[in-house]
């Protein structure tokens, strides 16, 4: 509150001057860092508050009643990140179903503000076993949110996280149009493709069937299948990872994706070819930048690409360009 009053007391010309000097200081530091690393650096700024975001890209009067946005995970209270994200989505998609699937015992003030944005709140009880990388927490909160959306009959579900945000005001249009443009291969128990923010490149990262699960979009029954897996024990294993990671043969992403593929009838043979073919036939991989996607993570939030930071010496990620080439090569 004190910070707010101090900011309000500073004249606009002085704010502009301070901002300019700070940018110059940052530019100087980045220039030194470039010299040390031998790499070029860029940065990007985004508004913290929903009130400061314009919605020029949103279609006037468009209805989003057939869409649900499920935000799962703990409430990020710092800078009101989660509730400001809910406010932003209300601004972009006024009549979309917005669901916050979080935990019992979360901060009451933020829960109250979240309800005031018009979001539906689900308070889940944490499972007794969290599992590696808290997979059972994600499964519990994601499944509850997606199931709630399904009971209300929405056609599309976007599963995202409480520490992540889309700044693209037409994101739901972009995602649903991708599903219409790239229908799935016939003969499977899948209404449409699953859209994710990339996947590991097996040639440089030996984690096959690793579709990033930060953001998953699709027709509601398909997203239900994706997060319909059973909870796992504290030390689960995926047989197909043992030869590459004998001491820790498990990833949440690999578990979600292979369980989904089994449900839709895909013939898994756990080879690199089978992995790439599954991406071509059942998914659409997009770049986070398409949705102006931002991750308020502890260590990576200052990186522009965050999830799929390019590695020019050893490419680790399959993005949209890679996926499109796979699609053309595999879809007859």
Query: Is residue 77 one of the residues assigned to a domain?
Result: yes
Asked whether residue 20 is domain-assigned, the answer is no
Model pLDDT, residue 264: 96
What percentage of the chain has pLDDT greater than the value 70?
88
Q: What is the DSSP string of 39-102?
A: S--------SSGGG---TTSPTT---TTEEEEEESS---GGGHHHHHHHHHHHHSTTSEEEEEE
**Is residue 191 assigned to a domain?**
yes
260 domain-assigned: yes
Euclidean distance between CA atoms 224 and 228, whole angstroms: 6
Whether the CB-CB separation of 118 and 95 falls below 8 Å is answered with: no
Return the pLDDT at 108.
96
216-219 vs 156-161, strand pairing mode: antiparallel
- What's the pTM value of the predicted model, to 2 decimals? 0.87
Residue 16 lies in a domain: no
Please report the pLDDT score of residue 253 as a whole number.
Answer: 97
Q: What pLDDT band is residue 9 in, cutting at 50, 70 and 90? A: low
d(CA 88, CA 137): 25
Residue 29 lies in a domain: no
Q: pLDDT class for 306, splitting at 50, 70, 90?
A: low
| CA angle in degrees (0–180, nearest 5) for 233-285-302 | 80
What would the two tokens of residue 225 be?
């299948």
Measured from the Cβ of residue 23, the count of other Cβ atoms closer than 10 Å reads: 12
Which CATH number goes with the domain that contains 70?
Answer: 3.90.550
For the chain, the average pLDDT equals: 89
Segment 312-330, tens digit of pLDDT = 665 678 999 999 999 999 8
pLDDT (tens digit per residue) in 189-227: 999 999 999 999 998 889 999 999 999 999 999 999 999
Backbone angles phi, psi at 84, to 5 degrees: -65, -30
Q: Is residue 27 part of a domain?
A: no
Asked whether the predicted pLDDT for residue 300 surpasses 90, the reply is no
C-beta of residue 145 within 8 angstroms of C-beta of residue 99:
yes
Domain ranges, residue 150: 50-330
In a domain, 25, yes or no: no
Number of domains in the chain: 1
């Amino acid at each position: 509150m004190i910070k707010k009053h101090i900011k309000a007391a500073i004249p606009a010309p002085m704010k502009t001057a301070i901002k300019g000097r700070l940018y110059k200081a940052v530019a100087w530091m980045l220039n030194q860092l470039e010299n040390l690393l031998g790499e070029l650096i860029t940065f990007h700024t985004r508004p913290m508050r929903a009130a400061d975001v314009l919605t020029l890209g949103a279609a006037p009067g468009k209805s989003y009643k057939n869409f649900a946005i499920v935000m799962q995970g703990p409430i990020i209270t710092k800078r009101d990140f989660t509730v400001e994200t809910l406010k932003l989505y209300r601004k972009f998609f006024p009549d979309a179903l917005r669901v916050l699937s979080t935990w019992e015992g979360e901060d009451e003030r933020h829960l109250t503000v979240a309800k005031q944005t018009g979001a539906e709140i689900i308070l889940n009880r944490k499972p007794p076993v969290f599992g590696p990388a808290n997979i059972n927490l994600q499964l519990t909160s994601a499944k509850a949110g997606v199931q709630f959306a399904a009971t209300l009959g929405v056609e599309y579900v976007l599963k995202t996280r409480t520490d992540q945000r889309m700044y693209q005001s037409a994101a739901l249009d972009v995602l649903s149009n991708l599903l219409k443009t790239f229908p799935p291969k016939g003969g499977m128990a899948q209404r449409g493709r699953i859209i994710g923010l990339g996947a590991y490149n097996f040639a440089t990262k030996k984690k096959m069937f690793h579709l990033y699960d930060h953001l998953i979009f699709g027709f509601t029954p398909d997203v239900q299948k994706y997060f319909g897996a059973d909870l796992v024990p504290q030390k689960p294993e995926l047989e197909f990872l043992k030869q590459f990671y004998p001491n820790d043969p498990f990833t949440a992403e690999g578990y979600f994706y292979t369980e989904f593929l089994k449900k839709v009838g895909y013939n898994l043979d756990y080879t690199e070819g089978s992995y790439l073919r599954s991406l071509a036939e059942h998914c659409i991989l997009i770049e986070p930048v398409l949705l102006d996607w931002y991750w308020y993570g502890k260590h990576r939030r200052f990186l522009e690409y965050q999830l799929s930071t390019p590695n020019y010496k050893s490419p680790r990620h399959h993005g949209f360009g890679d996926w499109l080439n796979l699609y053309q090569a595999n879809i007859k």
